[in-house]
A and B are shown apart, each in its own frame.
Chain A
């Protein structure tokens, strides 16, 4: 099932709000998880698990370190 970039962004914003308490409005494609959104490595795992439930795309732990921005995750999900 294909999603648009906007759908994935909105879905991620909702997940990040729930897991890390970052207001959804602050989640924009160019934001860095670590530097801009203050999300740590364990929260990244929770976000990956929630994203898998939502979009049906598994993001393995060894990929997480390369997904630095919100756009990186959107692109990764689109490519699968």
Chain B
């Protein structure tokens, strides 16, 4: 049997992001539930977040972010032969999101599937896209994380409604001579599936202390392994861009990496926790602000319900 011609490497060539226009501040939330700006800032580190309008869907946001990444790549829609959308908040499970996103972007007949690894979804999807491009199954892949958490929030539950938000981020992955995406380190812990779940099948709920302990004690070895497998020393890192779950989790993990020079993504402050969208959204916004020059070496780390987690190293275009 013949196999597809492999590519020596794959790399991210472009980024895109989308945030809904509606800004919700901590003061807005304090007017609805018993909370305060001080409480939210000190517990989760969020000052404001974006919430989609009722008629704005996961698909709409994925199209917006994906369209920007595609435009920034300089490729045409015809060049894209694989579309992967990481999401866990799409209202309808059928049809999938990625095929509709592809159609709306004018991408003709690509391979198209969704990934649900909750807040780790983007790192999983990027890992799969990297492998697909390197193996020759695809030449150019569009990878999107898009979430509308606001559809799954109990707006009277102050322990969750202050954390989660809406948004999307996207990248284009292309075949290249030099590898620009390191090996993905991924895993799961399904025995703790009950730590982050949909309460009454409707509302996101998490056991805060248990999740905090898990993320701050068990995940930095995953991040360090991704560095080791990519052959990158912690002191060579330009930036650490973990899932924007909670600023205290982000900073606790960052302290354990031995990379004091690395810029730490703190996108959560103005974007909230957008699940699988948070890493590409943070990256796109950091690049837009000029914080990550071309050639930057970035470590990602996604983690969330499942429990699931994944990390990899990227070299930026």
Contacts and interface: CB of A to CB of B under 8 A. Distances in A.
Interface of A: 40-42, 44-46, 48-49, 61, 64
Contact of A61 (B43, B210, B248, B252): B210
A46 B207 contact: no
Given A41-B209, A45-B212, 9 more contacts: A42-B43, A42-B209, A44-B209, A46-B252, A49-B213, A49-B216, A61-B207, A61-B210, A64-B209
B261 interface: no
Nearest to B249: A42
B208 interface: yes
A40 B42 CA distance: 9
Given A41-B208, A46-B252, A61 B213 contact: yes
Contacts of B42: 40
11 contacts: A40-B43, A41-B208, A41-B209, A42-B208, A42-B209, A42-B212, A44-B209, A45-B212, A45-B216, A46-B216, A49-B216
A39 to B, nearest CB: 11
Contacts of B212: 42, 45
A46 B210 CA distance: 11
B22 interface: no
B35 to A, nearest CB: 13
B307 to A, nearest CB: 15
A68 B210 CA distance: 18
Nearest to B209: A61
A59 B183 CA distance: 35
A57 to B, nearest CB: 15
Interface in B218-277: 248, 252
